[in-house]
Copies of this chain bind each other. A is one copy, B any other.
Amino acid sequence: MKNVVAFIRPERLPQVKQELFAKELFGLSVTNILGSGQQKGFTETYRGVTKEVNLLKKLRIELVVQEERLNDAISAIETGARTETEGDGIIYFQNIHGVRRIRTGEEL
């Protein structure tokens, strides 16, 4: 089993979900994060004082997939999340050494 993690733009989630579901990948966990990367932040002014905001709102999505579905998962996320402008994020995967479904206790 593999663990696929991607950092994406919040507004691309619906497309990513759509792509994943289209490939029958239904297991998915989404976390709100603040991130920095190549994309620059912005500045806020509050009561006359400038504040640099260099952590932007992003989403972290995480999927546990079978070895053979890894490429499907990655390409689905890439298709859904890509806008070709800075801030699209990265995607990585890792090995997992065991997965179980809590409801049943079965190994996946």
Contacts and interface: CB of A to CB of B under 8 A. Distances in A.
A101 B38 CA distance: 11
Interface residues of A, number: 54
A103 interface: yes
Contact of A94 (B3, B74, B85): B3
Copies in the complex: 3
Interface string A74-106: 100110011111111111111111111111010
A103 B84 contact: yes
Contacts of A88: 101-103
Residue from A1, A84, A89, A90 whose CB has the most chain B CB atoms within 10 Å: A90
A46 to B, nearest CB: 16
Interface string A1-42: 111001110000000010000000011111111111110000
